[in-house]
Structure formats: C-alpha cells, structure tokens
Amino acid sequence: MKRTILILIILLACIYSLRAQSVTQSFNADGIKVIFKPTSKNVINVRIYFRGGVANYSPNQAGIENLTLDATTKCGTKKYNKNAFKDSTDKYGILTYGSSTYDYGYIQLNCISKYFNQGWNLFSEAVMNPVFDADEVKLLKERKVVISRNNQSNAETSLMLLQMQNAFKNTPYAIDPDGSEETVNGLTANDLKNYYETILNKNKVFIVVVGNIDKQVLFKKILAAFGSMPSQSFTPVDLQAPVWKDNKLLIESRKLSTNYVGAIMNAPDFTSVNYVPFRLGISGLGGNLYQYLRSQLHLSYNPGTNTVPLKMPFATMTAGTNNVPEVMAGMVNVLKEIRNSGLNDEWLQHIKNTYITRSFINDQSAAAITDNIGSAEILGGWQYADDLPQLVKMVTVEQVNNALNFYVVGLRWTFLGNPEAIENYRPPAF
C-alpha cells in the first residue's frame, strides 16, 4: 500500500509539474532559436523574426523588407497559388501577414489551435517557398503606395516620421521602413526575391510561438518545415544612438486644422538597469503633462509621452495644439520640474501600478504576447518581457530621479503645421 501511495504521489507531482510549465522557454531546433510560451489560449500565434530591419538595406531600397515579407503571404507559394492560399486562410479563419520595422521584420501566423495544422502548412510554405510573381508584386506595390499616401495624410504618423528623420539623420533610422512612393515603385519582383535570399538564414531568424500547443509537436514541425533553411554567418550592425544635447527645431509646413509638436530625448538601452526606472519616470512625466496642458491650461487635447525601446532608444513628448509656443514652454517647464523635484514613494507606487495595468491590458492576445517577446529578444533577451513586472516592482524613487537627470540632456524638436503659429519662436533653453 505504501508503495502504491508513493507512486501516486510521484505521479501527481509530475502532473502538477507539467501543468505548472506554462512559463516562457527557449530551445534550439536544428540551428534555429525558438522561444515558446505555452498558454491556455486556443488561439496560436507564430512569428518568424528576421533581425536587422533598416540596417539590412540602403536608403534607396527603403520599404524593400516590408514589401518582401508582405509578399510572402500575398503572392502565392510553390505549392499554393495566390487564390488557393487565400481560400485556405478564409476557410479556416487563418490570418497570415508579413511586415517590417526599424529593428526587425517578421512573418506571422494567427489561427485557432483546432486548425493549427492547416495554418502551419500555409505559414511554412510562405516562409520557405514564396513565389514573388511579378504581377502580384505589382498589385502589392500599388496597395503599399496607397497606404504610404494615407500615412502621409495622418498628422501624427507624419510627425513621428519627421521626428525620426530629424533626430536620426545620417543613421539607418532616417530610413522609413515602409518606404516612400518613389522607392517602393522602384522595386521589382526580382529585387524582392534576391533580398529575401539574403535574410532567410538560420542565424538571422528566430521563431516565437505563443499558444496551446505541445512542445514536442512544435519542435518536430519546426524541424520538418525549416530544417533546410540556409545557414550563414551573421553579425548584427552595432547601432549607437546620437546624443541630443541641443534644442534644435525642425519646422515642416503643412495645412492642418491642428498643429503638432514633438520633442525627442535620449533614453537608456533596453537592457540597461536604468531602462525601467527611466520608463516609469517618462510615464510620470506624461501624467504631469496631461494634468498641466490639458486639465489645467486646456492648451492641448492629447499631450503625452512615450519611451520607444529600439536598438537606438529614445523618448518623446508630443502634443497637438494651436498654442504652440505656450505648449512648448509648458512641456519644458513640466520636464524641468520633474527632473528637479523628482518623484516620491507614494507617487511612484501609483505610477507603478497604473503602468503595469496600462502596459498589459492591451497585450493579452497571443499576437501581442508574441510581439512583446519578439521585441525583447531583438533588443537583448526575451527574458526581459517576462521579468518586466518584477523589474517595475523593484524600482526606487532615487533610480527614477537619477535616470531622468542622466539621460535627458537636450530636446530635438519637430513641428508640423502652419509655420506662422511658430514664426520667430525658438525652443526654450533646456
């Protein structure tokens, strides 16, 4: 009887242990790094990431990676022509697409677990055997040009692009990952095919999988699908963010009902011990700006801040306003005040709790989790995505205050709107 009970205890311990294994893990599948987060969700998201982003190509090829990766799921594969591919995705509610941004590109699969096999077949075909059919690529380029024009007509998107071009002049980040009408129109199906061959490399890619799937099943699928992927040496480009000590202002004239103004400032690397304290400080700055410029002075309806964790990281302050000088002065005053006076314990606790909820409330889907894990891996290690809540909890007031004072040493301003609203105005000294 004792032996029976002992066996039962061991058996139960094993079962509980298996049930508890829902944490993120990483493994190697024939030279490809795989990061897997099992969840109870019946929606599975898979992304194959391609490292490098805008550092992979020259400015005159702007948009090539975005177009190439999108084409893998839109222009058919060796096994499925474009229509057969689309019919299958429609039949089983499968979403696939490719995209690219500053530091990376990806091809994504999103489907329910019941139809994962069907989804995986399409996804692996898109990754390994895309057909860059000239006619289909032409149609896709036309759609990209329309999207690019729409982006140009969106003031907030335009402001962000201008800010990047202003602050990151002469670096890869001055390239718009979506490309311009001119650069996209200049790309051919053959360009895309040749480019894809340069990035389909076991040492340049990694795969993130989130969902309710058995690890062994996943492992076998990856081996079978991607085992034949080329393997070549890859050395990532070392990117160093410029230091913005000045207070330069770039003015872009555009007829808008509301003017937009933004400032970029330096930020710590994603892997720096200062990153989370800095990010909390910028979050607190955003709350103060909102309180001062919107609630108190009614000068802007949308003042806000953002920390942008890229390989060359930065933070932004932005606002839409028709009182540009007052808002710019207000931004500087609020920033100076928080740097001089700092936070206190009660305030920091508020920021921490609110930060956790706000950060994660829109990140509950399998796709959002994949995105967070993938971004963290690109920036230094997927573990940071899992550790974020604990890192936030450990932050002290002193760390926040020190980080804000150390990294924010100047502001690079960008203005979009009617130049008369800012005529003869110079940014206040910082």
- The footprint of another protein (CB under 8 A) covers 1, 5, 8-9, 12, 16, 22-23, 39-43, 91-93, 112-115, 346, 349-350, 352-358, 360-361, 363-366, 369, 389, 393
Greatest Cα pair distance, the chain, in angstroms, is 91
Closer residue to another protein, CB minimum distance, 92 or 425 = 92
- What is the distance in angstroms between the CA of the first residue and the CA of the last residue of the chain? 78
Q: Cα(343)–Cα(261) distance, rounded to whole angstroms?
A: 26
Which pairing describes strands 412-417 and 249-253: parallel, antiparallel, or unpaired? parallel
Q: Report the nearest approach of another protein to the CB of residue 309 (Å).
A: 17
Task: Write down the residue that tokens 């696939």 correspond to.
Answer: 96
Closer residue to another protein, CB minimum distance, 138 or 350 = 350
The DSSP result for 144-166, as a single string, is HHHHHHHHHH-HHHHHHHHHHHH
Task: Write down the residue that tokens 């450990």 correspond to.
Answer: 394
Closer residue to another protein, CB minimum distance, 361 or 429 = 361
Q: Report the nearest approach of another protein to the CB of residue 305 (Å).
A: 18
Please answer whether residues 130 and 123 qualify as being in contact, where contact means their C-beta atoms are separated by less than 8 angstroms: no
Q: Report the nearest approach of another protein to the CB of residue 291 (Å).
A: 13
Q: Report the nearest approach of another protein to the CB of residue 353 (Å).
A: 3
Please answer whether residues 308 and 282 qualify as being in contact, where contact means their C-beta atoms are separated by less than 8 angstroms: no
Q: Report the nearest approach of another protein to the CB of residue 152 (Å).
A: 30
Q: Report the nearest approach of another protein to the CB of residue 350 (Å).
A: 5
Closer residue to another protein, CB minimum distance, 40 or 257 = 40
Cα 406 to chain center, whole Å? 25
Q: Report the nearest approach of another protein to the CB of residue 42 (Å).
A: 5
Closer residue to another protein, CB minimum distance, 2 or 298 = 2
Which pairing describes strands 95-100 and 104-112: parallel, antiparallel, or unpaired? antiparallel
Closer residue to another protein, CB minimum distance, 393 or 426 = 393
Overall size of the chain counted in residues: 430
DSSP state letter for 130: B
Cα 6 to chain center, whole Å? 50
Q: Report the nearest approach of another protein to the CB of residue 366 (Å).
A: 7
Give the Cβ contact number of residue 45 at 10 Å.
23
Closer residue to another protein, CB minimum distance, 44 or 312 = 44
Q: Cα(50)–Cα(29) distance, rounded to whole angstroms?
A: 16
